[in-house]
Amino acid sequence: MAKQVKKSKQELSKLQNLTKGFLKENPIFVFLLGMCPALAVTSTLETSFGMGVLVIFVLVLSNVVVALIKDFIPKEVKIPSYIVIISTFVTIVGMLTEAYAPLLHESLGIFIPLIVVNCLILGRAESYASKNNVLNSAIDGLGMALGFMFALMAIGFVREFMATGAIAYGVFLPLPFEGSIVNLETYLFNIAVFSGPAGGFIVIGTLLAIYNGFEIRKQKKAELERQKLIEEKKRIALEKKRQRELESAGGKA
């Protein structure tokens, strides 16, 4: 019985599996995985989104394939096999991007082939897909990649906004329309450093600090709740003890 309880605690539901990468196990803000694209291609929201979509494609498909053939891959050649699988999907996604979104391809440049060495993708293949079934691996890949994309987009949003005062759309992606939202370029926001590498470090550092600040507050709050609960239990136990003492004293009298 105890074993069953433990198992059900470890196994996540499909929804939990999907959403764990959004915040709780976010690849960028928690595990600091895939920092190279997080710094290099997040100068605009659109390129961040584009890279996120490519990573979704590669991560989901590589997780699915690894989960499918995990039992056939000898352990001596696990990593080389995963790398071949991942690089196949990266090559495919590179070709598709160049064919159907050439401006995005030009903008992401060398960072598309570099998805091959994104630790997040190899990490999920090794730590999750090689030990779980196809469906769960696909969900895990999708959730983690979405979390990665959200984090990139958060960084890209802040960087583009601080650097240009606007958020443009339809520039790099093959959208049928283009323009910009929240256009405040004539106001305060025109800090060019945010579009450069230094800006990437500043924004990632700041967002990490904010994220960790929330996490610490949450932990403190949970700790406080726990303390309160313990105090409450102690108080109830003490009251019960006193009541029992009073009852026994009354009985004697």
Residues that bind another protein (CB under 8 A): 40, 69, 72-74, 76-77, 80-81, 84-85, 87-88, 91-92, 95-96, 98-100, 102, 106, 109-111, 197
The half-sphere exposure of 203 on its side-chain side, counting CA atoms within 13 A, is 31
CB 48 within 8 A of CB 155: yes
Q: Which is nearer to another protein, 29 or 57 (CB)?
A: 57
What SS3 state is found at 165?
Answer: coil
Smallest distance from another protein to CB 141, Å: 18
The smaller minimum CB distance to another protein, of residues 110 and 188, is found at: 110
Long-range contacts of 130-135 (CB under 8 A, 24+ apart): 130/66, 130/67, 130/70, 130/78, 130/82, 131/70, 132/67, 133/67, 134/64, 134/67, 134/68, 135/14
Nearer to another protein, 20 or 70 (CB): 70
CB of 105 to another protein, least distance (A): 9
Residues, the chain, total? 253
* Complex with another protein: residue 62 or 118, whichever CB lies closer: 62
Closest distance to another protein from the beta carbon of 102 (Å): 4
Q: Which is nearer to another protein, 18 or 155 (CB)?
A: 155
- Closest CB 91 distance from another protein, rounded Å: 5
Smallest distance, Å, CB 66 to another protein?
11
Return the structure tokens found at 26.
Answer: 């976010």
β-pair partners for 180: 168
Q: How far is the CB of 72 from another protein (least distance, A)?
A: 6
Q: Which is nearer to another protein, 85 or 204 (CB)?
A: 85
Q: Taking a C-beta distance cutoff of 8 angstroms, is the pair 120, 144 a contact?
A: yes
Concatenated DSSP letters of 63-111: HHHHHHHGGGS-GGGHHHHHHHHHHHHHHHHHHHHHHH-HHHHHHHGGG
d(CA 104, CA 6): 47
Query: If you search the block for the tokens 């999750």, which residue do you land on?
Result: 128
Contact 22, 143 (CB under 8 A): yes
For another protein, the closer of residues 18 and 51 by Cβ is: 51
Q: Minimum distance from CB of 232 to another protein (Å)?
A: 58
